[in-house]
């Protein structure tokens, strides 16, 4: 993480907000840009040049696309330049060693050694965000930004810089030009930030310990129930980790006068895998749909091309997450499921009871999380073999019961928290005249509890920082 959690929460964030609110409106984009660069550069001062380079490329390309708009061929070349440069940066830092390892198997390339290049934090997010601007300017979906500072502030804005949500320029173009923070918006931002912090610190970190135990167990010592319990822990960990970060980003955005798009919509309540991916990491799914699936033809040119496009998009979605065969396999796995659902299964699921569709979805998603979480394919195969009952230490054992009892409260909290029930209860409390102070008091208590956990812990990584 670029800052330690406590340093960010108690020093940097209050300082930034203090400077931001006391700065005249016309200079706030500059303040936001400077503070965001400091935030990113604190942990990675060398790689800040990569972000600035990506920002400059897309700013200049956007200007040239707008200038030569009447010359479609020339304008397209500047779009291609933007896309090529961003993908080249992403490809070099994220995938160079992966392809070098593949090439080194061929005798003529046997001498090739991995470069050992470290992955700049957030590069997968800000390159996608930045180049979408140039594409949108070409499509007339977004206005060109002729001033560098507002555009650079859009790319580097620190709340969602490192792990999203991926914000398209057209979604906040007007807010970059003119935004004001109201008391109600700030109050909502504080509540959203604390809710995200609690998701991460109180649920994701704690339930992640169960997954850490499970994945280290040898396959011969693991029961079927333990395998399912372990991957259930990972499923909740990654959801509360990533959705918690998104909530924190959206909350901080509100404090700065921005309205960032939602990134999660209770995905574990879905009754099909198709629905699940409409609810999970919404900004990434939307990005791939708008900038890859639809340009490839979407579903407009017959079933074969529709399935081909789905396969390409999901293979690349998996590869976007990491330079590993497991991520590619994960993407292909969901591509096959989504194609099957589109072909015939969605109609069948519509006729089944909701609990059946829900169980079907969670089973397939849980299997997918095994592919995602375990980068060693041999380990993935062993874990799945236990899950499916082919190997392992029986159906259930004493160790499984011990962990189930030990982590029962946090598992139950996670299960309830992954539904809309807590939000509905909070809205009901806020509307009740006699309970107006309950939510603010609850937020204060959550903040105190999170603070205690943060002070006691020295390491609080976000899972999606590595993507």
pLDDT in tens, 301-351: 888 999 999 999 999 999 999 889 999 999 999 999 999 999 888 888 888
- To which residue do tokens 């990569």 refer? 50
Residue that finishes a domain, picked among 163, 179, 195: 179
169 contacts 154 by C-beta, under 8 angstroms: yes
What are the structure tokens assigned to 164, written together? 């999203």
The reply to whether 210 and 163 lie within a common domain is no
Q: Do 257 and 298 share a domain, yes or no? A: yes
Q: Is 39 within 8 Å of 3 (Cβ atoms)?
A: yes
Indicate if the pLDDT at residue 4 is higher than 70.
no
Q: pLDDT band at residue 153, thresholds of 50, 70 and 90?
A: very high
The model's confidence at residue 120, banded by pLDDT at 50, 70 and 90, is confident
Mean pLDDT within 169-176? 90
* pLDDT of 235 strictly over 60: yes
Looking at the fold, whether 97 and 242 belong to one and the same domain comes out as no
Q: Using the 3D structure, point to which of 124, 149, 179 is the last residue of a domain.
A: 179
Tokens 């539904």 belong to which residue? 419
**Residue that finishes a domain, picked among 133, 158, 179:** 179
The closest alpha carbon to 9, from 200, 236, 238, 242, belongs to 200
Could you tell me if 172 and 214 lie in one domain? no
Q: Is the separation of the CB atoms in 112 and 26 below 8 Å?
A: no
Can you tell me the mean pLDDT for 80-89?
A: 94
Q: Are residues 94 and 69 in the same domain?
A: yes
Tokens coding 320: 């976007």
Active-site entry in 321, 358, 428, 432: 321
Which pTM was predicted? 0.92
Instruction: Please compute the mean of the pLDDT values over residues 200-205 and round it to a whole number.
Output: 93
Which CA distances in Å does 120 have to 110, 178, 325?
28, 31, 21
Cα–Cα distance measured from residue 415 to residue 408, given in angstroms and rounded to the nearest whole number: 10
Do 77 and 171 reside in the same domain of the chain? yes
**Catalytic annotation on 358?**
no
pLDDT band at 458 (very low <50, low <70, confident <90, very high): low
DSSP state letters, 313-359: HHHHHHHHH-SSHHHHHHHHHHHHHHHHIIIIIHHHHHHS-HHHHHH
With 70 as the cut, is the pLDDT of residue 2 above it?
no
Q: For residue 408, how many other CB atoms are within 10 A of its CB? A: 10
Q: Mean of the pLDDT values across residues 261-265?
A: 93
pLDDT at residue number 453? 84
**Cα 82 versus chain centre, distance:** 23
Total domains, the chain? 2
Q: Are 133 and 62 in contact (CB under 8 A)?
A: yes
Q: What pLDDT, on a 0 to 100 scale, did the predictor assign at position 461?
A: 61
190, 101: one domain? no
How far apart CA 375 and CA 380 sit, in angstroms, is 7
Q: Which domain holds residue 346?
A: 184-466
For residues 415 and 273, membership in a common domain is answered with: yes
Same domain for 202 and 175: no
Q: Mark whether 189 and 57 lie in a shared domain.
A: no
Q: Are 283 and 294 in contact, with CB atoms under 8 Å apart?
A: no
d(CA 262, CA 225): 34
Q: Do both 100 and 121 map to the same domain?
A: yes
- Distance, CA of 431 to CA of 51 (rounded, Å): 44
Got the DSSP string for 98-161? Answer: HHHHHHTTSGGGTT-----PPPPTTHHHHHHHHHHHHHHHHTTSS-----HHHHHHHHH-GGGT
Contacts of 423 (CB under 8 A, 6+ apart): none
Name the CA radius of gyration of the chain, rounded: 23
| Euclidean distance between CA atoms 30 and 158, whole angstroms | 13
pLDDT of residue 1: 44
Residues 161, 310 within the same domain: no
């Amino acid at each position: 993480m670029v800052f330690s959690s406590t340093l960010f929460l108690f020093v940097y964030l209050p300082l930034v907000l203090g400077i931001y609110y006391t700065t005249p409106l016309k200079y706030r984009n500059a303040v936001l840009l400077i503070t965001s660069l400091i935030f990113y550069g604190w942990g990675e001062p060398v790689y800040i040049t990569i972000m600035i380079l990506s920002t400059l490329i897309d700013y200049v390309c956007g200007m040239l696309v707008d200038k030569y708009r009447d010359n479609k061929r020339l304008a397209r070349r500047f779009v291609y330049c933007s896309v090529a440069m961003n993908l080249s940066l992403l490809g070099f830092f994220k995938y160079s060693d992966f392809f070098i390892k593949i090439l080194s198997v061929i005798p003529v390339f046997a001498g090739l050694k991995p470069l050992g290049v470290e992955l700049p934090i957030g590069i997968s997010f800000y390159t996608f965000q930045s180049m979408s601007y140039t594409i949108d300017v070409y499509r007339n979906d977004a206005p060109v930004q002729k001033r560098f500072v507002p555009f650079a502030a859009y790319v580097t804005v620190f709340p969602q810089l490192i792990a999203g949500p991926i914000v398209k320029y057209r979604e906040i173009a007007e807010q970059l030009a003119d935004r004001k923070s109201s008391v109600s918006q700030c109050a909502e931002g504080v509540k959203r930030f604390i809710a995200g912090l609690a998701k991460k610190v109180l649920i994701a970190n704690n339930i992640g310990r169960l997954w850490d135990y499970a994945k280290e167990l040898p396959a011969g010592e693991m029961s079927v129930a333990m395998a399912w319990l372990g991957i259930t822990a990972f499923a909740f960990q990654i959801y509360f980790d990533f959705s918690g970060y998104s909530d924190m980003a959206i909350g901080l955005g509100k404090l700065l006068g921005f309205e960032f798009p939602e990134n999660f919509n209770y995905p574990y309540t879905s009754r099909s895998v198709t629905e699940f991916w409409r609810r999970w990491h919404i900004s990434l799914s939307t990005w791939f749909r708008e900038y890859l699936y639809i340009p490839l033809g979407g579903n407009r040119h017959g079933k074969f091309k529709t399935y081909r496009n789905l396969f390409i998009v999901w293979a690349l979605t998996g590869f976007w997450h990491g330079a590993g065969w497991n991520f590619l396999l994960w993407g292909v796995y969901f591509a096959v499921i989504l194609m099957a659902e589109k072909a015939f299964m969605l109609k069948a699921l519509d006729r089944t009871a909701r609990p059946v569709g829900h169980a079907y979805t969670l089973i397939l998603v849980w299997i997918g999380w095994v592919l995602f979480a375990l980068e060693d394919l041999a380990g993935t195969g062993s874990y799945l073999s236990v899950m499916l009952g082919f190997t392992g230490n029986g159906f259930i054992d004493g160790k499984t019961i011990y962990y189930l009892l030990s982590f029962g409260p946090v598992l139950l909290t996670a299960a309830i928290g992954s539904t809309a029930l807590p939000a509905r209860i909070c809205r009901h409390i806020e509307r009740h005249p006699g309970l107006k102070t309950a939510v603010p008091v609850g937020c204060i208590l959550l903040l105190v509890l999170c603070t205690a956990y943060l002070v006691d812990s020295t390491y609080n990584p976000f899972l999606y920082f590595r993507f």
